[in-house]
Structure 1
Amino acid sequence: MPVVFRWKGHRFHFFANEGDPREPAHIHVSRAGATAKFWLSPEVELAYDRNFDARTIKRLQEVVEERRAELEDAWNDFFA
């Protein structure tokens, strides 16, 4: 599972096997038993959240939006 970056103990990653057919570009965020998934386009959108509080999800979404280009580049480079 490629890790794109870490931020304040959160791991931003995707899985090498993202479905068949492959799902659209997205990022998983994990930390200490909590996980979330964000779609990257057409807009950054929360796909699901398991065990993060609302404040953390809001901040994680901001981080994904701020670093969206980097996340999309990592996705495209890996799956090219």
Structure 2
Amino acid sequence: MPVIFRVDGCRFHFFANEGNPREPVHIHVAQPDADAKSWLYPEVELAYNRGFDARWIKRLRDIVVMRRTEIEDAWNDFFA
């Protein structure tokens, strides 16, 4: 499970086995009692949320939007 970065106690990561065929570029975000997944394209969109409140989801979306290129580059490097 490659961890791309950590912010405010959240781990931003993806899994090495992302399905067969592999799912499109996305990011998982986890805290001890919550996790979420967001698609990166065509727009950043929440795939699921388990435990984050609305304020956290907005904050996480903003982080993913700001760091989308970094996430995509890490994804492409890992799966190349």
TM-score for both structures, normalised by structure 2: 0.98
Taking only the aligned residue pairs, the percentage that are identical comes to 71
Q: Which residue of 2 aligns with 1:75?
A: 75
**Structure 2 partner of 1:7:** 7
Q: Matched residues in 2 for 1:34 and 1:14: separation?
A: 15
| Alpha-carbon distance between aligned partners in 2 of 1:76 and 1:42, rounded to the nearest angstrom | 16
Identify unmatched segments of 5+ residues in structure 2. none
Per-residue CA distance 1:33-80 (angstroms, 9 max, x = gap): 200000011111000000000000000000000000000000000001
Residue type matched to 1:53 in 2? D
* Matched residues, number: 80
TM-score by length of 1: 0.98
- Partner residue, 1:47: 47
What are structure 1's unaligned runs of at least 5 residues? none
What SS is found at the alignment partner of 1:41?
Answer: coil
After the TM superposition, which parts of structure 1 deviate over 3 Å for at least 4 consecutive aligned residues? none
SS of 1:52's equivalent in the other structure is coil
